[in-house]
Structure 1
């Protein structure tokens, strides 16, 4: 019996996504953080300072394909946990505790990610990146058409 490499298709993309996400969620669970909270906290962590709340919510909606109300609820939860703090007039910023949590979970996942991507040639990663970016753009266009 010969094993062939499967073509890139929705199933192979989903399997890779969910396998990597499961690894991340195990690390996040050790710190009582959900995947949605992690995505939201990252948006504040990589900003140069306070960020418009609507931009954070929009970034979460765009990344996770969830509704604005649900994304806003995640922001509210991070504020309640004192990982984000409101700034006037309509901004939020990451707190020291939020920064520490983000840095801790990032450091914990870095070696896992390195092992997952180890020994994959740079040119293969570049091709995969281009293909997945194109698929994302096309899927986002289809989603926008379905929503209009």
Structure 2
């Protein structure tokens, strides 16, 4: 039996890109992964989110540059998936909500296949390690 590799950036990155590729297959042609993340953020906020908060989510959690985050929002409003409302709010349109719901269902199916038979204690340990690595990387980025 082969020895499992130690957790490092390459192993984490390979897992991320493999699962991201699966998730991207679920998106309609012309919709990007970053756009899906923005739509998910709006849905998680109850269907409407302040523009400033959405941009902060894309630049903070997703690590997009400010211009790329703004372009993502513009593309979503131009595509009719988000609409601008009073108070600098961005709200899911019916089309945007339908896309998010279909995407979430597809991702849930992928996650069930990928993680469903893994031991809960292994998943918990991986979650703790990855959360700590993310916090440390974010601190290093904030420090410059």
Does TM, scored on the shorter chain, surpass 0.5? yes
By how many angstroms is 1:90 displaced?
Answer: 1.1
Q: CA RMSD in A?
A: 1.3
Give the TM-score taking structure 1 as reference length: 0.91
Provide the residue aligned with 1:3 in structure 2.
Answer: 2
Structure 1 gap segments, 5+ residues each: none
Q: What is the distance in 2 between the residues matched to 1:98 and 1:64? A: 20
Provide the residue aligned with 1:51 in structure 2.
Answer: 49
Alignment of 1:1-148 (within 5 A): 3-28=2-27, 30-146=28-144
Q: What is the distance in 1 between the residues matched to 2:45 and 2:138? A: 24
1:71–1:44: structure 2 CA closer, same or farther, 3 Å change rule? same
Q: What is the distance in 2 between the residues matched to 1:62 and 1:143? A: 10
Give the TM-score taking structure 2 as reference length: 0.94
Deviates more, 1:64-73 or 1:35-44: 64-73
Give the ranges of 4+ consecutive aligned residues of structure 1 lying more than 6 Å apart after TM superposition: none
